[in-house]
Amino acid sequence: MSNEVFPVSPEWAARAIIDEARYKALYEASLRDPDTFWREEAQRIDWIKPFTKVKNVSFDPKNLHIKWFEDGALNVSVNCVDRHLKDRPDQVAIIWEGDDPKNDRKITYRELHAEVCRFANVLKARGVKKGDRVTIYLPMIPEAAYAMLACARIGAVHSVVFAGFSPDSIAGRVVDCDSTVIITADEGLRGGRKIPLKANTDEALKKCPGVTSVITVRHTGGDVAMQAGRDVWYHEEAAKVPADCQPEVMNAEDPLFILYTSGSTGKPKGVLHTSGGYLVYASMTHQYVFDYQDGDIYWCTADVGWVTGHSYIVYGPLANGATTLMFEGVPNYPSTSRFWEVIDKHQVNIFYTAPTALRSLMREGDGPVKKTSRKSLRLLGSVGEPINPEAWLWYHRVVGDGRCPIVDTWWQTETGGILISPLPGAIAQKPGSATLPFFGVKPVVVDTEGKVLEGETSGNLCIADSWPGQMRTVYGDHQRFIDTYFIQYPGMYFTGDGCRRDADGYYWITGRVDDVLNVSGHRLGTAEVESALVAHAKVAEAAVVGYPHDIKGQGIYAYVTLNAGEQPTEELRKELVQWVRKEISPIAAPDLIQFAPGLPKTRSGKIMRRILRKIAEDDFSNLGDTSTLADPTVVGDLVDNRQNKG
């Protein structure tokens, strides 16, 4: 832990939208009288019908409901597009930077309007109506934003599936939300490699009999199979429809999107976000946390397949009339200077990325950074996992030339937007700390018994009351929503994260306290990887845990018990890694597999993950009490055969 404090500079305090005094006053007001605070803040978006009720929330598990602005009506795409046509029709809305540095595009708000309307009309022509679910499986191209906003325009609920997911993962998500239309592209491009998106979709659809329409965007021009009746090319359909489309009037609590995310048990859950509260919160956090001011060029390197891409590439920035950069590629192609070259090329002012990317670039030394200018940069951001102080300091000194504050933003798919983060003109930063809560957010640290801990302490992180961007339910499984977040600590939202609060009231997120892994900022359930492993014909049983990994933050360590008669070979190890890549995604591939004749289990048959975690972490001194195990001798065997981390 670093003890250095980086105070707000006088220039920042003077130019920022929120300075220290304003932060303190508004934060206090937001907790004292949430109704008044949010009534005013909600005026930042255009309402078709103004709301009269601000907040209607109960965290009581027996009567759980979360509603914001519930009698108001709006259209999210109108807020992100149409309303900017008056003041900034010719301002660039989206800068697209292709995988190949020779490819880029700029889309103005006027053009964005036409593109979104056209896409909406294509969806309507394929029979999509208000309330229908549409799956989007696209690479990082502007059409991903057009498609999301087109759904919002006609009241359809989008479910974006990350383009790195396998056919099986797509199928599970399509079936879960019953979507009948899929939007994809011929191929994606990342680091010069092609990703067969349409072929993956075709494979997935063998398991999705309900899908009637596949709309394919031509991107690379690669050869793909088209099934007559079901598959259409987007450009052919778009040529047949007008570039103008009446927006649907949506209630504030009508669903905007579903986004699947991993939990500690079972299959990924469909996190449901609604329209009014989500947009108010995404827009507000984008403006204040990034101190977004007119004319700024803003770049978030996330993928639209994750929540960060939803809130901070598309909805937040566009609601604010910002210029948002969308990058198709990867940090190390064609060279490890790529991020910094893109910053110079497009004169980026605000840059938001993940610690894992920073750690991988840091390894290359300062040279690839220093050969670029980066003079345009004013603010840096971090998201997805705890940032280690070493990476924080490198980001600050090398990337930002010691000039740019860093906002370490803690939040989750479930929270819709940032909950804990410095505001750059108001809050001094400490490397590795997400610092203080955003307006209206009341963090609480509890012990495992649910006792609320005061002052300097550590424990599990809960949030005491609702904020407008909070998820509303798990799609199709409200009970799972209640059970996952509201049972363990009654009356509070449980985040699943552990944290420490220091003497200044700063929060230091220490990572998940449940069976969720965070691998390169990607969320994965240990249960998902285990069920992929046991689906292999030679595997009897599997247990997966995380271990500290220099670049990825956490690596995946899998203990595998083979079926009787199967031999643990190097070949089989490789085969299992490939198997998981194919079953879920390359991001879920185990880094290390240890063949184990037996796993440590309690007498009731529960796998003792605590012990497996310790062994994976190389911490043999601290295995705890093993006497309750059904067969304590398995532990010695596991320790002896532990995989070398290399």
Closer CB to ligand 6R9, residue 121 or residue 518? 518
Of 106-114, 175-183, 381-389, 598-606, which part binds ligand 6R9 (CB under 6 A)?
A: 381-389
Residue 255 CB-density burial (10 A; 0-12 exposed, 13-18 middle, 19+ buried): buried
Work out how close the CB of 563 gets to ligand 6R9 at its nearest, in angstroms, rounded to a whole number.
Answer: 35
Q: Which residue has the tokens 């998201």?
A: 383
Q: How far is the CB of 282 from ligand 6R9 (least distance, A)?
A: 12
For the beta carbon of residue 452, count every other beta carbon within 10 angstroms.
Answer: 14
The annotation status of 384 as a binding-site residue, yes or no, is yes
- Going by C-alpha positions, the residue among 254, 80, 253, 280 that lies closest to residue 156 is 254
Q: Does 299 bind ligand 6R9 (CB under 6 A)?
A: no
| Distance between CA atoms of residues 447 and 457, nearest Å | 10
Contacts of 44 (CB under 8 A, 6+ apart): 280, 283, 284, 287, 319
List 284, 361, 509, 517, residue binding ligand 6R9 (CB under 6 A)? 509
Candidate residues 305, 386, 424, 469; the one interacting with ligand 6R9 per rule CB under 6 A: 386
Segment interacting with ligand 6R9, rule: CB under 6 A, options 74-82, 191-199, 302-310, 546-554? 302-310
Q: For ligand 6R9, which stretch binds (CB under 6 A), given 69-77, 182-190, 465-473, 511-519?
A: 511-519
Closest distance between ligand 6R9 and the C-beta of residue 124, in Å? Answer: 32
Any binding-site annotation on 520?
Answer: yes
The greatest distance separating any two alpha carbons of the chain, rounded to the nearest whole angstrom, comes to: 73
User: Which of residues 78, 181, 307, 544 is near ligand 6R9 by CB under 6 A?
Assistant: 307
Annotated binding residue 190: yes
Q: Is 218 annotated as a binding residue?
A: no
Closest approach of Cβ 511 to ligand 6R9, in Å?
Answer: 6
Task: Find the shortest distance in angstroms from Cβ 26 to ligand 6R9.
Answer: 22
User: Do β-strands 157-160 and 255-261 pair in parallel, antiparallel, or remain unpaired?
Assistant: parallel
Q: Where are the alpha helices (DSSP H) in 102-192?
A: 109-125, 142-154, 167-176
Q: Is 408 annotated as a binding residue?
A: yes
Does 497 interact with ligand 6R9 (rule: CB under 6 A)? Answer: yes
Instruction: Candidates 139-147, 332-340, 493-501, 577-585: pick the segment binding ligand 6R9 (CB under 6 A).
Output: 493-501
Tracing tokens 């130019």 back to the chain, one arrives at 15
With CB under 6 A as the contact rule, the residue among 41, 97, 385, 530 that binds ligand 6R9 is: 385
Q: Is 536 annotated as a binding residue?
A: yes
Q: Whole-angstrom Cα distance, residue 369 to residue 367? A: 5
Residues β-bridged to residue 269? 261
Name the minimum Å distance from CB 553 to ligand 6R9: 9
Instruction: Sketch the per residue contact string, 403 through 422, with ligand 6R9: x for CB under 6 A, - otherwise.
Output: -----xxxxxx---------
**Closest residue by Cα to residue 286 from 547, 496, 484, 80:** 80
Per-residue 3-state assignment (H helix, E strand, C coil) for 261-279? ECCCCCCCEEEEEECHHHH
To ligand 6R9, the closest distance from the beta carbon of 434 in angstroms equals: 5
User: Could you give the residue ranges of the DSSP H alpha helices within 177-293?
Assistant: 197-205, 234-238, 276-289
Any binding-site annotation on 401? no
Select 274 or 554, whichever has its Cβ closest to ligand 6R9. 554
- Residue 108 assigned to a binding site: no
| Shortest distance (Å) from residue 150 CB to ligand 6R9 | 24
Find the shortest distance in angstroms from Cβ 508 to ligand 6R9: 9
**Nearest to ligand 6R9 of 309, 440 (CB atom):** 309
Tell me if 317 is assigned to a ligand binding site. Answer: no
Q: State both tokens at 75.
A: 């259209």
CA-closest candidate to residue 591, choices 537, 519, 539: 519
- In whole angstroms, how close is the CB of 284 to ligand 6R9 at the nearest point? 16
User: According to the annotation, is 409 in a ligand binding site?
Assistant: yes
Q: Is 539 annotated among the ligand-binding residues?
A: yes
Give the shortest CB-220-to-ligand 6R9 separation in angstroms: 28
Positive or negative, the Cα torsion across 151, 157, 161, 166? negative
* Window 512 to 551, contacts with ligand 6R9 (CB under 6 A): 512, 518, 523
Check whether 467 is labelled as a binding-site residue: no
Residues within window 256-285 making contact with ligand 6R9, judged by CB under 6 A: 261
CA distance 185 to 232: 11
- What is the token pair recorded at 58? 């109960």
The annotation status of 270 as a binding-site residue, yes or no, is no
- Is 19 annotated in a binding site? The answer is no
Segment near ligand 6R9 (CB under 6 A); pick from 29-37, 383-391, 423-431, 580-588: 383-391
Q: How many Å apart are CA 346 and CA 333, to the nearest integer? A: 17
- 451 Cβ contact list (under 8 Å, min separation 6): none
Tell whether 332 is in a known binding site.
yes
Minimum separation from the CB atom of position 19 to ligand 6R9 (A): 23
Q: Which of 263, 217, 261 is nearest to 236 (CA)?
A: 217
SS3 of 423-476: the string is CCCCCCECCCCCECECCCCCEEEECCCCCEECCCEEEEEEECCCCCCCCCEECC
Tokens representing 388? Answer: 């280690």
For ligand 6R9, which is the closer residue by CB, 91 or 510?
510
- Applying CB under 6 A, which of residues 308, 323, 561, 643 lies at the interface with ligand 6R9? 308
Q: Three-state DSSP class for 64?
A: coil
Q: Say whether 567 counts as a known binding-site residue.
A: no
- Structure tokens that stand for 219 in this block: 């991107």
- How far is Cα 459 from Cα 157, in angstroms, rounded to an integer? 37
To the question of whether residue 581 is assigned a binding role by annotation, the answer is: yes
> How many binding residues for ligand 6R9 (CB under 6 A)?
24
Does 383 engage in binding with ligand 6R9 (CB under 6 A)? yes
- 13 within 8 A of 33, measured Cβ to Cβ: no
CA distance 340 to 322: 21
Q: Name residue 67's amino acid.
A: K
What is the number of the residue whose Cβ is closest to ligand 6R9?
413
Stretch that binds ligand 6R9, among 5-13, 65-73, 109-117, 306-314 (CB under 6 A): 306-314
C-beta closer to ligand 6R9: residue 67 or 269: 269
Terminal C-alpha separation, the chain: 25
Alpha-carbon span 471 to 598, nearest angstrom: 40
The single residue listed with the structure tokens 């939803």 is 310
193 annotated ligand-binding residue: yes
Dihedral (C-alpha) 129, 131, 135, 141: value to the nearest 10 degrees? 70
- Contact residue for ligand 6R9 among 215, 434, 517, 543 (CB under 6 A): 434
Torsions phi, psi for 17 (to 5 deg): -65, -40
Which residues contribute to the annotated binding site?
190-193, 308, 332, 384-386, 408-413, 497, 512, 520, 523, 534, 536, 539, 581
Which residues contribute to the annotated binding site for CoA?
190-193, 308, 332, 520, 581
Binding site for ligand 6R9 (CB under 6 A): 261, 306-308, 382-386, 408-413, 434, 495-497, 509, 511-512, 518, 523
Which residues contribute to the annotated binding site for ATP?
384-386, 408-413, 497, 512, 523
